[in-house]
């Protein structure tokens, strides 16, 4: 048990466990360019709070695309797939953190907005899929991280109250959501979200430039 009564961890994936946030910025822009659209300034910032279907609907309505949401989703998934299957690495300190939690008998899982197939491909390649109690995606719960549904379902499966669970996230909006549901939040520094870092530090229960700093809450 941690010093604040913490007994489990929910990890975000992109930007927290995987060094992958830059990939999504590239994918968004490639998708627009192949549809003969010049990517507007700040488009990635607008998309980062959206779930898969919400982003697809946004692309269609904002840019008058003659595509179905399913077609948009499939194309974006294909653009990102090679990176997840072959190249995206773990962020520094991930294995150390997992080893430290295992040594303390702390269960952990993943809550992510990323496509199911990409999550599995990356985790299997990196050899860590088996270490998590489970992986839950926003598409599986039918909600984005603007609502606490995914965190609450993780808590239910972990068998702990929200106040007993540390949620590790790099995104401001996700930290705000987890806070609203009573979780202890740990803000992880991510260069692509540097503009939000001061605010993340202000509202998180804890924060670190490196993921390994969360182990201090599990003495």
* Residue among 36, 34, 27, 83 at smallest CA distance from 55: 27
What's the CA gap between 122 and 83, in Å, rounded?
9
All residue ranges of the chain with pLDDT < 50 are none
- pLDDT for 202 equals 98
Cα 112 to its chain centre, rounded Å, is 4
* 94 close to 12: Cβ distance less than 8 angstroms: no
Q: Where are the alpha helices (DSSP H) in 68-115?
A: 69-86, 94-103
- pLDDT for 29 equals 87
- pLDDT for 1 equals 58
* Residue among 59, 56, 168 at smallest CA distance from 115: 56
- pLDDT for 82 equals 86
What's the CA gap between 128 and 15, in Å, rounded?
16
pLDDT in tens, 33-77: 999 999 998 888 888 778 778 889 999 999 999 999 999 989 988
Beta strands in 48-190 (DSSP E): 108-112, 135-137, 165-169, 184-188
Lateral strand order in the sheet of 184-188: 135-137, 108-112, 8-11, 165-169, 184-188, 206-208
- pLDDT for 170 equals 98
- pLDDT for 41 equals 86
- pLDDT for 10 equals 99
pTM of the model: 0.89
């Amino acid at each position: 048990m941690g010093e604040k009564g913490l007994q489990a961890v929910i990890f975000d994936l992109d930007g927290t466990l995987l060094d992958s946030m830059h990939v999504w910025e590239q994918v968004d822009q490639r998708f627009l360019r192949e549809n003969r659209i010049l990517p507007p300034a700040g488009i990635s910032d607008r998309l980062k709070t959206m779930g898969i279907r919400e982003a697809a609907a946004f692309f269609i309505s904002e840019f008058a695309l003659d595509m179905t949401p399913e077609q948009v989703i499939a194309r974006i998934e294909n653009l990102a797939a090679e990176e997840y299957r072959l190249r995206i690495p773990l962020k520094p300190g991930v294995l150390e953190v997992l080893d430290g939690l295992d040594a303390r008998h702390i269960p952990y899982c993943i809550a992510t907005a990323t496509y199911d197939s990409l999550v599995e491909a990356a985790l299997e390649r990196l050899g860590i899929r088996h270490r998590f109690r489970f992986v839950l995606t926003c598409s599986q719960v039918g909600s984005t991280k603007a609502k606490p549904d995914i965190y609450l379902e993780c808590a239910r499966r972990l068998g702990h109250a929200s106040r007993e669970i540390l949620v590790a996230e790099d995104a401001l909006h996700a930290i705000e959501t987890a806070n609203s549901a009573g979780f202890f939040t740990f803000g992880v520094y991510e260069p692509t979200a540097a503009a939000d870092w001061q605010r993340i530090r202000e509202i998180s229960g804890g924060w670190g430039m490196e993921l390994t700093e969360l182990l201090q809450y599990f003495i």
